[in-house]
Amino acid sequence: MTIIYAGATNEVKIICPKCGSEKNINVFKFKDTHKRLKAKCKCGEVFPIELEFRRYYRKEVRLAGEYFFQEKDERGDILIEDISMTGIKFSTLKPHNISKDDTVELKFTLNNQRKTEIQTLVKIKWINDRNVGAQFIDLKHFKQDLVFYLTA
């Protein structure tokens, strides 16, 4: 399935995998619906697409790290699954006591050439068992490194 990023303009280019025909369309009307759709080309080819309306590109990764939840004096190992300019998705290796809106410290190393170490506070946005989505609170110390990492 092809993932298409809509960005701020909601304009996307859909390319037929069979004939290569391209069409630019505005996908705003799909913003609040299912993001998995079927596209039909003028050549007759029907193919699945997935629309992504995030403001920033989200890079899939597999990075080891750790969290520290100061309020409950809890720490543990994590696996970072994806990262963007504004947030991060990770899973804890063991059950945790983190809740939505908690502030947690994360520490991990990017797998870039410089092996950039990131230590930052995040605000927890959602939790599904051991899977956690969080928003960066302060990017100023590693913003430039993250920009280069996400665009590499």
Q: What CATH code is assigned to 59-151?
A: 2.40.10.220
Average pLDDT score, the chain: 90
Q: Parse the chain into domains and list their residue ranges.
A: 2-52, 59-151
Going by pLDDT thresholds of 50, 70 and 90, the confidence category of residue 73 is very high
Looking at residue 35, what is its pLDDT? 74
97 DSSP assignment:
-
pTM of this structure: 0.68
147 SS3 class: helix
Distance CA 63, CA 77 (A): 11
Which amino acid appears at position 56 of this protein? Y
